[in-house]
Amino acid sequence: MVYLIALMFLGLFQLWDARLFVWYTDDFDYLDHIEQVKADPWGLLSPDYAASGRPLASIFFILLNALFGDAQVPQHVVLILIHVLSTWSLARLLTKLGYPLELTTLTGLLFLFNVSHYEVPYWMSCVSYMGCLVSGVWAVVAYKAWALGGSDLRLGGACFLILISTLFHAVGITFALLAPYYALRGGARVPAIVKSAWVFPLISVVLSILIMSAYPEHAQHKNVTQVDQILHVGELTLAYIGRAFLSPHWLSKAFVVGPTNIDVIAGFLILCMGCYLAYRYRSTPLDAIVWTTLAFPIFGGSTLEEFRSRYFYVANVGPSLLIAWVLIEAGTRIPKGYRDGWGRWLVPATGTVCLLWVSHGEVDKTKPVFWAGIGRSYMATGAAKTGLPLLGKGILGSPENLAPIYYYRYASNAYFLGLDTRQVLEAGLNVYPNDASIVLLAETDQYISNHRIVPLDLVERVQDAGRIPVRVVSQALHNVASYFYNKEDYAAALRFYANALQVDPMKKDSTVFFANTLNRQNRHADAMTAYERYFELAQGAEMQDAIPGLLTIVNTTPKSSEAWAYLSSAYLGLGNIAEAGRAAAAGLDQIPSDPLLIQMLQEISLLHRDRGKTKEANRIAEYLNKATSSLNSSLPDEPE
């Protein structure tokens, strides 16, 4: 009880500010799911929500919603307390695996203060990692007890707990592999392990496949896009292992910019050390390496951009166990005269206090980083007005721990809203003085802030710098133009759209809005030229941006067959065949002799027929027959 109270105090001291976080956009999927479940309990398993892929996490959200409604602060406090309780449970369960009490006590403290999984106690949706860890370790304890002569009830309990762990998160398969390892370490008979151990991976794998099949849109499954590339999986797994042991108590930029070669090399060396320890003798360091190694392959199939701190949660038991063992062993190596009484605890206590102090300072850096992540998530969903202040707060709070893309996103969206970007760009220049995109964006900002377009020499330097600077600067100019467009200052908007197209002539959104702006100035002929260029670039649903402008043109100049044809093509790009047919027919009513519109209607008729809509296809065919027969009857007879 004293240990739990101490963990509670330290955990709240470490993470108390996290209560002020707002919802991450992913949390809204769970909140929407709650409303569906309230209306229909079977909605808990509905594939309409990605949250259904982790039903136990959904139940957690439902319980919190029943207790606190939409209040965010108490729910975040509950998440912090669950993290503390998970840590306490981990320490108690490790004791049942045979580790000494002093080792597990210290391991729990170090795990609680581990910085590299900082997202988990911050992010409500990450409660699944905590549930997965506790139920998984409990399953390992139950299986070891059975393998050493316990009742079959313990084996059944272990199977059930593996099931629960996997329902929380697919990383539960880690414990399906750790269970036979710890049974073997505890001295269980090999035949008993061989006969029973296969059940646990089978449960985890089958359940994961079922969940993946039922909920293919869940991010957990969509992110695993490179699982079939063995070399990639191996390299990324090594990077995870290396970073887990390199950054347990200090923040690494690898969590925002991706792994480095140092991570891969460190992971390889740690695996080599594990092989050596396995060959020579079994020990706690070997346990730590095995634990961390088994926890990461499931994340190895993701992309380098998905190198996230939350993925370290289950694996971080390994580094915490190893550091605790090193500190305690160091205490036993002091001179004999000092080992008696409290003397042997001098080194472990001093080392632990230093690590906790360092961790507390590093955690303060993670909070702005997470604010930046929240802001970026809102902006990704189109809520720029909500997300931009949060992103700016995060950047200025911990500028050195955020990737350059955060600076790009802030500046670009600030231009769209007409906000000042100088402070953020200055911070970016201080952290990334050699990043071409930030340097060129800062130069561009000097012109934008004075409502001046970028001169040709700067345009050429941007183009020479590479694809990323071109994309960043052209988007900034585009968003400045959009700000003026929304303010109905079409002359300024036109200048900046044209400037964006100077930087990137292939930029589709600037092309169509350049055309739309010309439309606003009643320059319909020039607008049609721009739309013609846009339709050379655009595909599918992208064409919808041209529809409002084309409607304006066909209303003001109904004899423009190109405008009617482009309008019909835009509707086709959206998959709206019926509206495409109506647009082409309306154009043909205005220009009966136009072969382009006749061809459009013929193609639309074939599309209807291919989709089994014979009635619609016949209606268009009849319309074309009437139109062409009417045209033929109105023509004079040819002279003999």
Q: pLDDT tens, 290-340? A: 999 988 877 765 666 677 888 899 999 999 999 999 998 887 777 665 556
Considering the domain architecture, whether residues 438 and 359 belong to the same structural domain is answered as: no
10-68 pLDDT, tens digit each:
888 888 888 888 888 878 877 877 877 877 777 677 776 666 667 788 888 888 888 88
For residue 166, give both structure tokens.
């996997």
Residue 580 has pLDDT above 90, yes or no: no
What per-residue confidence (pLDDT) applies to 631? 47
Considering the domain architecture, whether residues 313 and 169 belong to the same structural domain is answered as: yes
Residue 267 has pLDDT above 80, yes or no: yes
SS3 584: helix
Query: pLDDT-based confidence at 638, cuts 50/70/90?
Result: very low
Q: Which whole number is the average pLDDT over 420-430?
A: 91
Can you tell me which residue has the tokens 């969509």?
222
What per-residue confidence (pLDDT) applies to 339? 56
Give the torsion sign (CA, 460, 464, 466, 467): positive
| Nearest one of 95, 118, 113 to 105, comparing CA atoms | 95
What per-residue confidence (pLDDT) applies to 343? 63
Residue 86 has pLDDT above 90, yes or no: yes
Residue with more model confidence, 198 or 213:
198
Considering the domain architecture, whether residues 241 and 312 belong to the same structural domain is answered as: yes
Q: Which whole number is the average pLDDT over 500-516?
A: 90
Residue where a domain terminates, one of 505, 525, 542: 505
Considering the domain architecture, whether residues 355 and 427 belong to the same structural domain is answered as: no
Residue with more model confidence, 527 or 302:
527
Considering the domain architecture, whether residues 59 and 162 belong to the same structural domain is answered as: yes
Q: How many domains does the chain divide into?
A: 2
Residue 639 has pLDDT above 50, yes or no: no
For residue 324, give both structure tokens.
């605790």
Question: What one-character-per-residue DSSP string does 430-488 give?
Answer: HH-TT-HHHHHHHHHHHHHTTT-PPPHHHHHHHHHH-HHHHHHHHHHHHHHHHHHHHTT
In this structure, what are the phi and psi dihedrals at residue 273, rounded to the nearest 5 degrees? Answer: -65, -40
CA distances from 5 to 1, 12, 84, 324 (A): 6, 11, 10, 20
Query: pLDDT-based confidence at 632, cuts 50/70/90?
Result: very low
Residue 487 has pLDDT above 70, yes or no: yes
Considering the domain architecture, whether residues 34 and 122 belong to the same structural domain is answered as: yes
For residue 295, give both structure tokens.
């926890």
What per-residue confidence (pLDDT) applies to 636? 38
- Residue 555 in any domain: the answer is no
Give yes or no for a contact between 455 and 466, defined as CB atoms under 8 angstroms apart.
no
123-134 pLDDT, tens digit each:
888 888 999 999
Considering the domain architecture, whether residues 330 and 448 belong to the same structural domain is answered as: no
Query: pLDDT-based confidence at 549, cuts 50/70/90?
Result: confident
Listed ranges 166-170, 285-289, 573-577; the one with the highest mean pLDDT: 285-289
Residue 241 has pLDDT above 50, yes or no: yes
Residue with more model confidence, 1 or 523:
523
Can you tell me which residue has the tokens 């230093």?
354
What's CA 169's distance to the chain center, in Å? 16
- Residue 622 in any domain: the answer is no
Taking the C-alpha atoms of residue 229 and residue 240, their distance in angstroms, rounded to an integer, is 17
Taking the C-alpha atoms of residue 352 and residue 370, their distance in angstroms, rounded to an integer, is 26
- Residue 477 in any domain: the answer is yes
What per-residue confidence (pLDDT) applies to 228? 56
Residue 182 has pLDDT above 80, yes or no: yes
Q: Which whole number is the average pLDDT over 263-270?
A: 92
What per-residue confidence (pLDDT) applies to 602? 80
Considering the domain architecture, whether residues 323 and 438 belong to the same structural domain is answered as: no
Considering the domain architecture, whether residues 334 and 479 belong to the same structural domain is answered as: no
Q: Which whole number is the average pLDDT over 422-445?
A: 92
In this structure, what are the phi and psi dihedrals at residue 338, rounded to the nearest 5 degrees? Answer: -110, 0
Q: Which whole number is the average pLDDT over 170-188?
A: 85
- Residue 51 in any domain: the answer is yes
Taking the C-alpha atoms of residue 525 and residue 560, their distance in angstroms, rounded to an integer, is 10
- Residue 634 in any domain: the answer is no
What per-residue confidence (pLDDT) applies to 335? 64
Q: What is the four-CA torsion angle of 314, 317, 318, 320, rounded to 10 degrees?
A: 140
Considering the domain architecture, whether residues 167 and 232 belong to the same structural domain is answered as: yes
- Residue 539 in any domain: the answer is no
Considering the domain architecture, whether residues 236 and 308 belong to the same structural domain is answered as: yes
Q: What is the CA radius of gyration of the chain?
A: 31
Residue where a domain terminates, one of 505, 527, 550: 505
Domain that holds residue 355: 2-364
Q: Which whole number is the average pLDDT over 416-445?
A: 91
**DSSP code, position 215:** -
Considering the domain architecture, whether residues 326 and 211 belong to the same structural domain is answered as: yes
- Residue 543 in any domain: the answer is no
- Residue 580 in any domain: the answer is no
Taking the C-alpha atoms of residue 113 and residue 570, their distance in angstroms, rounded to an integer, is 55
Residue where a domain terminates, one of 467, 489, 505: 505
* Average pLDDT for the chain: 84
